[in-house]
Amino acid sequence: MSGRVLVGVKRVIDYAVKIRVKPDNSGVVTDGVKHSMNPFCEIAVEEAVKLKEKKLIKEVVAVSCGPQQAQETIRTALAMGADRGIHVQVTGKDYETLGPLQVSKILAALAKKEDAQLIILGKQAIDDDCNQTGQMTAALLDWPQGTFASEVSMEGDKLKVVREIDGGLEMIKINTPAVVSADLRLNTPRYATLPNIMKAKKKKIANVNPADLGVDLTSRVEILRVDEPPQRQAGVKVETVDDLVGKLKDTGRI
């Protein structure tokens, strides 16, 4: 048992920033826009660090895929308590088409290389809202998955996960190694304080190429166009039911 946990962290546009579509409708403006760690990834890092503090695992490795700026996100994870980082360098066109399929292939390859016992990810990223990476990674590795986790505990070499589902809460017990995806109520992430940021500068971040991991980044998806949602039209107030029926008929709804 290596006692090693891999945590995936994604650099996304900060949730409070107003998004703007590029004039050529090819995507969203990201130049100079405030970015931060995906909120669900923060929860994932916190959970991994908590497990290490409880001495249930030995090492937390933070992983991020992207251009140079992804290193800032890894540093934040290191400041929260991760031991070392891995920056998988993906730039340019490859980065524009990077999606859950490619990232899960990368994470699966890294999990094998690093002999990880556990992969903790955020349940979804707030920019694409895919909610696929955790599940795909588990499938590629043929590992069990505990997704939408609101509570995680270790019982021997099994993992007990309480999952948030539509009907309420579901408790499952899965073997390790496993993939867990964090939901909102799993924990409250700690702050990355300045002394920890300074210490994090001394922690190692390894640079890795997807090609070295034998991963093919070709996308199966082509983005045709990105548009803003249609402007919400003002509603119309009617006085009587007859008016309502009349208006519905006028606009061809009935």
Partner 1 sequence: LSIPEGTVTCPLAHRCLRALKTAQTEHVSPQLYTTLHRRACSSVSTPRITTHYTIHPREKDPRWEGIEMERFADEADVVIVGGGPAGLSAAIRLKQLANEQEKELRVCLVEKASQIGAHTLSGACLEPSSLNELIPDWKERGAPLNTPVTEDVFSILTEKYRIPVPILPGLPMVNHGNYIVRLGNFVRWLGEQAEELGVELYPGYAASEVLFHEDGSVKGVATNDVGIAKDGSPKDVFERGMELHAKVTIFGEGCHGHLAKQLYKHFNLRENCEPQTYAIGLKEVWMIDEKKWRPGRVEHSVGWPLNRNTYGGSFLYHLNEGEPLVALGLVVGLDYTNPYLSPFREFQRWKHHPFVAPTLEGGHRIAYGARALNEGGLQSIPKLTFPGGLLIGCSPGFMNVPKIKGTHTAMKSGMLAAETIFAKVTAEDVESETAGLHVPEYAEALKSSWVWKELHAVRNIRPSFHNYFGLYGGMIYTGIFYWIFRGKEPWTLKHCGLDAHQLKPAKDCTPIEYPKPDGKISFDLLSSVALSGTNHEGDQPPHLTLKDDSVPVNRNLAVFDGPEQRFCPAGVYEYVPLESGDGMRLQINAQNCVHCKTCDIKDPSQNINWVVPEGGGGPAYNGM
Cβ contacts of 45 within 8 Å, gap of 6 or more: 7, 9, 37, 60, 62, 77, 80, 81, 82, 120, 189
Closer of 188 and 240 to partner 1 (Cβ) = 188
| Least distance from partner 1 to the Cβ atom of residue 20, Å | 6
The single residue among 1, 2, 20, 139 that binds partner 1, judged by CB under 8 A, is 20
Which of residues 126, 154, 174, 197 is near partner 1 by CB under 8 A?
197
Burial 164-185 (b: 16+ CB within 10 A, else e): beeeeeeeeebeebbbbbbbee
Q: Please report whether residue 34 would count as binding partner 1 according to CB under 8 A.
A: yes
Half-sphere exposure of 156 (CA within 13 A, CB side): 4
* Alpha-carbon gap, residue 168 to 137, rounded angstroms: 25
What's the closest the beta carbon of residue 93 comes to partner 1, in angstroms? 21
Of 4 and 35, the one with the shorter C-beta distance to partner 1 is 35
Candidates 25, 91, 153, 193; binder of partner 1 (CB under 8 A) is 193
Least distance from C-beta 78 to partner 1, angstroms? 15
Indicate which single residue of 190, 203, 213, 219 sits in contact with partner 1 (rule: CB under 8 A): 190
* Binding span for partner 1 by CB under 8 A among 159-167, 169-177, 190-198, 205-213: 190-198
Stretch that binds partner 1, among 91-99, 120-128, 176-184, 194-202 (CB under 8 A): 194-202
Give buried/exposed letters for 106-122 (b at 16+ CB in 10 A, else e): bbbbbbeebebbbbbbb
Q: How far is the CB of 195 from partner 1 (least distance, A)?
A: 4
Give the strand pairing for 158-165 and 145-155.
antiparallel
* Closest distance to partner 1 from the beta carbon of 208 (Å): 24
d(CA 18, CA 38): 16
- State which of residues 1, 165, 171, 198 lies at the interface with partner 1 (CB under 8 A): 198
Count residues near partner 1 (CB under 8 A).
21
Tokens standing for residue 62: 């933070």
With 0-12 / 13-18 / 19 or more C-beta atoms within 10 angstroms meaning exposed / middle / buried, residue 150 is middle
Residue 160 touches partner 1, criterion: CB under 8 A? no
